[in-house]
Amino acid sequence: MFQEGKGKNKNITVYLNNKQLDQVTKMKYSGIILDHNFRFNEHIQYTAERCGILIHSLARAARMMWGIKYPAMDTIYKGAIITLLTYGAPVWVEAVNDE
């Protein structure tokens, strides 16, 4: 049932198992952050921040005297950072192209 309002801001009441679901402006589904306009800017920003933290930690570990050797760093980069950056790309890649 739609509630009265002007413009695009329409509220809809949805029930699941006789419980009303809250209407939100964003949600995380299968690791991808979706907003109410199906834009992925927030997902891309969140992913970039997580990768930045990982890259900083990796760089710090590599600087130490006993540091991580290149093969281990390469494995971590490919296994963690690239995986984070590309997760769900078929879903959100068009948002990057539209900006």
State if pTM tops 0.85.
no
Q: Are 23 and 12 in contact (CB under 8 A)?
A: yes
Residue at 31 is within a domain: yes
What whole-number distance in Å separates Cα of residue 73 and Cα of residue 80?
A: 10
- pLDDT averages per 10-residue partition of the chain, 99 residues: 53 89 88 86 89 86 74 86 88 72
pLDDT for residue 23: 84
CA distance 89 to 30: 12
pLDDT at 29: 87
Chain position carrying tokens 């979706």: 34
Instruction: Show the domain range for 84.
Output: 27-98
The span from the CA of 5 to the CA of 36, in Å, is 17
Indicate whether 19 belongs to any domain. no
Residue 15 within any structural domain of the chain: no
